[in-house]
Amino acid sequence: MLLALAVESKERVAVQGKRKLILVSVQTSCDHDFVEYFRQVPNQDILYTFRVVKTAPSFTITIIMRNVKSQRIMYKIKNLDGCEFLKNQLMNKVLSRTYRALLVNNTFFKCPIEPKVYFLKNLTEAMIVPSIHPAGYYQLSMRVQMSQSSAPFVMEILWKYKIVFFK
């Protein structure tokens, strides 16, 4: 059974050229079976932690960006082989930049993912938005799935953000 524990961060604003990116929230959730918890570390703005309780021999990653108002999917990567990505991050340059932004002390993950407590940083800054991104209100989800789990995902990060253009 999937129980979502949502952890929301404070709204952040970044100005890039003639546009403003407003990060409304970052939510994390997990299945509480393979991953016991996935949350922000208390009293830390950029540090998140999760505890893997069962060995993960393989996993896939699904990333979906959608317009919140219309629910139109703007971008989708479905079932990217996570272990292959960890072996060769250059197979996807955008994800590689995001992955490196999340690492704590340059500690790289490798398969199988062993049971223990892990840390990630900068969930609020890891989201890379291309310069051609249209204005609007969006949701970007990154799900980690495992064939050994009956849940729709074992971990998820959900970013909600707005892009505003100004003169």
In a domain, 98, yes or no: yes
In a domain, 146, yes or no: yes
Alpha carbon distances (Å) from 161 to 14, 68, 133, 135, 155: 11, 9, 12, 10, 20
Domain containing 50 equals 12-165
Q: What is the pLDDT of residues 118-127, one digit of tens each?
A: 999 877 666 6
Look at residue 15 in the predicted model and tell me its pLDDT.
80
Distance CA 15, CA 163 (A): 10
Look at residue 122 in the predicted model and tell me its pLDDT.
77
Q: How many domains does the chain have?
A: 1
Q: Give the chain's residues under pLDDT 50.
A: 1-9
In a domain, 2, yes or no: no
CA dihedral 101, 31, 77, 139 (to 10 degrees): -70
CA dihedral 81, 100, 40, 68 (to 10 degrees): -70
In a domain, 125, yes or no: yes
H or E element in which residue 14 lies: strand 12-16
**CATH code of the domain covering residue 149:** 2.60.40
In a domain, 1, yes or no: no
Nearest C-alpha neighbor of 141 from the set 66, 52, 32: 66
In a domain, 7, yes or no: no
Look at residue 127 in the predicted model and tell me its pLDDT.
65
